[in-house]
Amino acid sequence: MIDRLREYGIHDEAVLSAIGGVERHSFVDQALASRAYEDVALPIGHEQTISRPTVVATMLAAVIAPMKSDVRKRAKVLEIGTGCGWQAAVMARLFGEVYSVERIRGLHENARKNLAPLRLANVRLAFGDGREGLPQVAPFDAIVIAAAGMELPEALMHQMAIGARLIAPVGGEEQALHLVERTSEDDWRVTVLEGARFVPLREGTA
Ligand code: SAH
């Protein structure tokens, strides 16, 4: 899988080694385990999917681009859409502290089970509507949103530290990754990157 990511154009060694360090097959149903190392989104129940490795690698490489490795290893980051917990495990290998929010109770609990054997001391899972973020823990040095809203969630923009990056798919049928950089208390720079295909970012909990 790492060779495929390199071919795809991911050159960030920290991202490659974080992804290579997590067994993706242990986050999906046994019947799908043989496909866990293909670059595909796979079903994880509740009509949700584990994201494609190339997409996760692209998003992580984009948010960490300006970070020196010592800064990265101390960074406090937020993931919206825990799903099965795979990306949270990858992020735990890159960052100091990882918070991940999921709105579907069954997935939140399943992610907890999937992550337990990895004994990652720096990951905190929360159940709730991630569009609200985690104001009690903010500001974050990076935010990664794994589901597509029609716009960038306002509350999350305000939970970015100055200089932090946020990456999120935006759109409905047609989506594109948006990379946001908070340049001051009142300014955010948004760059639209490549097209994407994510499950929708929904309101409330289930
Ligand atoms: N990163 C995940 C993939 C997540 S798929 C992994 O590695 O498996 C996107 C997830 O976002 C789904 O589980 C979906 O339930 C969740 N989601 C959608 N809207 C949300 C919201 N408002 N708050 C939190 N999670 C949300």
The answer as to whether 146 is a domain residue is: yes
Residue 18 maps to a domain: yes
Give the active site residue among 26, 34, 51, 100. 51
Determine the length of the chain. Answer: 206
The pLDDT tens digits of the residues spanning 5-55 come to: 999 999 999 999 999 999 999 999 999 999 999 999 999 999 999 999 999
| Cβ–Cβ under 8 Å, residues 164 and 139 | yes
- Write down the pLDDT at residue 120: 97
Query: Which pLDDT value is given to residue 174?
Result: 98
**Tally of structural domains, the chain:** 1
Looking at residue 129, which CATH number applies to its domain? 3.40.50.150
3-state secondary structure of 55: helix
**100: annotated active-site residue:** no
Determine the 3-state secondary structure of 62 from DSSP.
helix
Residue 204 placed within a domain = no
Helix (H, G, I), strand (E, B) or coil at 125: strand
For 151, half-sphere exposure in the C-beta direction (CA atoms, 13 angstrom radius) is 4
Q: Does 180 fall in a domain? A: yes
Note whether residue 101 is domain-resident.
yes
As a whole number, mean pLDDT of residues 143-148 equals: 98
For ligand 1, say whether the CB of 201 is within 6 Å of any of its atoms: yes
Q: What is the pLDDT of residue 134?
A: 98
Residue pair 142/100 in contact (Cβ under 8 Å)? The answer is no
> Which structural domain, as residue segments, surrounds residue 33?
2-196
84 lines ligand 1 (CB under 6 A): yes
Q: What is the percent of the chain with per-residue pLDDT over 70, rounded to a whole number?
A: 100
Which two structure tokens, joined as six digits, stand for 66? Answer: 């300006």
SS3 57: helix
Residue nearest atom 17 in ligand 1 by C-alpha distance: 81
Best probe residue, ligand 1, of 108, 202, 203, 205 (max atoms within 8 Å of C-beta): 202
Other CB atoms within 10 A of residue 139 CB = 17
